[in-house]
Structures are given as C-alpha cells and as structure tokens.
Amino acid sequence: MNIKPPAEPGMAFSDIDTPSLVVDLDAFERNLEIMAARVTEAGVRLRPHAKTHKSPWVALQQIARGAVGICCQKVSEAEIMVDGGVHDVLVSNQVVGAAKLDRLAALNQQAQVAVCIDHIDAVAEIAAAAANQNVIINTLVEIEVGGGRCGVAPGVAALNLARAIADDKHLHFAGLQGYHGKAQHFRGLNERRDAIAEATRLTAETVELLAQDGLACEIIGGAGTGTFEFEAASGVYNELQAGSYAFMDADYARNRDADIFEHALFVCAAVMSRPNQQTAVVDAGHKAASIDSGLPVPWGLAGSEMSGMSDEHGVIDITTVNEKPARGDKILLIPGHCDPTVNLHDWYVGVRGLHGADACVETVWPVAARGALF
C-alpha cells in the first residue's frame, strides 16, 4: 500500500491533509535565485546537496539555474537522481562493500557519478567495480578539515591516496572533498569564519602538494549553508555543496540572523486537542518532524513555543498567544532540521502564496529518494 498524496493541485491550503510537508514555492524560488547569483558573483560552481531534498524535481530546478550537478550521500540516492534526469552526481561520501560499488559503477554507464575515498584499500575496491562495469570512475580524496568524521589527513596522506587513484587505469583523480560539517552549525559568525579559514588553509596546502606531484584538482569541494560565503571567497574551493539554503530550517535561522534565505519548508499540522487554555496539541510528532537540531518552531503564532513532542503529538505552549488556535486549525511548523524531516515524508505539497489569503496548491511531487539509505 503506497502513501497517497495529502493534496492535489488546485486545492485550497485549508484542504491539505495533515501532517504534511509544505513548500512555499515563492520563497523556495527566491532562495534558488539568490544562491545562483551569489555563486556567480563569487566565480565558483554550485553542486547543491540532494540529501536535503531527495528530489530530482528540485535538483533539476537547481541545475536549470546554473548548478553543475548535485551531491548525494548514498548510491541509492544517486540512482534515483539519475533516473530522474540528473547527469552529474558526486557521492560526497565513502562507499564500502562490493555490492554498493558495483551499483555505483553500473550507474556510471548512464551518468557521471563520482565518489570519495579516505582509505587506500578503497582504490582497489572501486577500481575492481569500474573494471567489472567497464567504466572509469571519477574519484576524489576526502580530507579531514575539522569535521571530526570521515576523511584522511590533509597533506602527504592525501597525496598518497590521490597518486594511487591517478595511477589506476579504471579511476580518474577528480579532486578533493574538504567539507567541514560541524562548522555549519557553529552559532557565532567568527567561529564559522575561523573554522573555514583553517579548513581552507589545510585544503590549499594539500592542493599545492598535489600540484607539485603533477596532480590537478578539478573539483575542490565543500561548504554548506552555514559557511558557504567563506568557501566562496576562499580562492581555493571551487564547488560549493550547500543544500539547506533551498528550504532553510530553524537551526540555520538561529545562525544566520537577517538572513538572505527565507523559510520555504514547513510541516503543516492540525490542532487535534486543546486540553486547556495553555496548550494546543498538533498531529505532528517525531514521525513528521525531526528534532535532532531542536524542536520545530510554530510560524506566525507570536508568543507560542513548542514544549514537547512524542511520536505522533506535538505540544505547543500558547499561554501568551492572543488569538489561540482552535481544534482543527492548521499550524505551520518550521522544522528544526530540514534534511531528516524531509526524509519522513513521501510527498511535497507546493503552495503558491502560502502566507496569503489565496494560498493554493500548485503542484505535488514525491520525495523520490525518501528512505534511500543504501
């Protein structure tokens, strides 16, 4: 049994079923335009991360505005993107295991699908898959620039991997991946700037070391919505991988005051209970909105605050709210973190004029790569 869409094109906002994932199409399009302009001004390329939206429909809109391709985190995500018409994908992640690598190689028969490594054994593993499928796989070295996750040390260790890639006839050395994930969420502007300055320094040194060995980096990739201005201005990074800018979320909004991006993604919930004057309970809980970066924030309900969530309930404190919502009223929630929230839903509901009186569903499209974990 598949999950049916919670709305149809032409429907009034009030008729959208809840809880559902609603996109403010106007804000979304402005976000895409602004980022496109920023990267053009900076003279760098944009390869937005599709782990945020998991949708070829969104990816193609980004590409139509100048993005060179997209990033994915999983081979199964890449498969769905290629199936949806995307021709240039970077799996900005390690891929381990012969079965996954064989799928990655097979996908390279249809599109250009690059991958990252951070271990010498990966060279032979990926090369075997490439040989098996008779393709050449673009391979990047992921360096650890402060994120504390994957990645080989910058410098000589990275050079050794790059050289091994370049020396393998089934692989093509395509550059460096230097993403600082943690820095995206540092609250202070200076903290973010300093972190990316250090990441840039490590990356630049490695680029230089590789150049001395005759290895050119076509892609020097990294950056997210929290720091992209710094990588854009670094003179080192040439491909930015931000994803959340398209939608924005409550966590990024806490970083980026007076931000250039607008909230374009909401969980549309309905009040299912008003047990007392202080409380509105909505029908969206952990299964409709992720809380790994904090609780969702109610939109346009001044004085309200989410006080808790359980699996299928969200509890909103409305003690100081003047016009208190009633049973059945819809409340838009800004997700704490857009990526894992999107992944909970099967459908996007695209609304034109969302915050106006004539809000109308313009389009409904699938979260095509939802659950693409493999």
* Residues found near its own copies in the complex (CB under 8 A): 1, 3-4, 6, 17-20, 51, 73-74, 76, 79-80, 83, 93-97, 99-100, 118-119, 121, 144, 148-152, 181, 270-275, 281, 283-284, 286-288, 290-292, 308-313, 315, 327-328, 337, 339-340, 343-346, 368, 370-374
Calpha distance 122→161 (Å, rounded): 9
For residues 105 and 101, give the distance between their C-alpha atoms in angstroms, rounded to a whole number. 6
Parallel, antiparallel or unpaired: strands 360-366 and 347-352: antiparallel
- Cα distances (angstroms) measured from residue 232 to each of 80, 140, 150, 210, 253: 29, 20, 23, 21, 20
Please report how close the Cβ of residue 66 comes to its own copies at its closest, in angstroms.
25
Q: How far is the CB of 33 from its own copies (least distance, A)?
A: 26
Instruction: Kindly state the DSSP code that residue 143 receives in the 8-state scheme.
Output: B
Residue among 42 and 202 whose Cβ is closer to its own copies: 202
Q: Which is nearer to its own copies, 87 or 327 (CB)?
A: 327
- Token digits for 168? 């393998």
- CB of residue 335 to its own copies, shortest distance in Å: 12
Tokens found for residue 37: 């302009």
Q: Which is nearer to its own copies, 44 or 226 (CB)?
A: 226
DSSP string, 126-139: HHHHHHHHT--EEE
Backbone angles phi, psi at 304, to 5 degrees: -85, 160
CB nearer to its own copies: give 37 or 99: 99
Q: Quote the tokens at residue 97.
A: 């295991």
**Smaller CB separation from its own copies, 18 or 255:** 18
Other CB atoms within a 10 A radius of the CB of residue 108 amount to: 22
Nearer to its own copies, 73 or 238 (CB): 73
CB of 120 to its own copies, least distance (A): 10
Beta bridge partners of 48: none
> Which is closer to its own copies, CB of 65 or CB of 274?
274
Q: Of 185, 227, 239, 246, which is closest to residue 52 (Cα–Cα)?
A: 246
Least CB distance from residue 94 to its own copies, whole Å?
5
Q: How far is the CB of 260 from its own copies (least distance, A)?
A: 23
- What is the CA 312 to chain-centroid distance, rounded? 25
CB of 136 to its own copies, least distance (A): 23
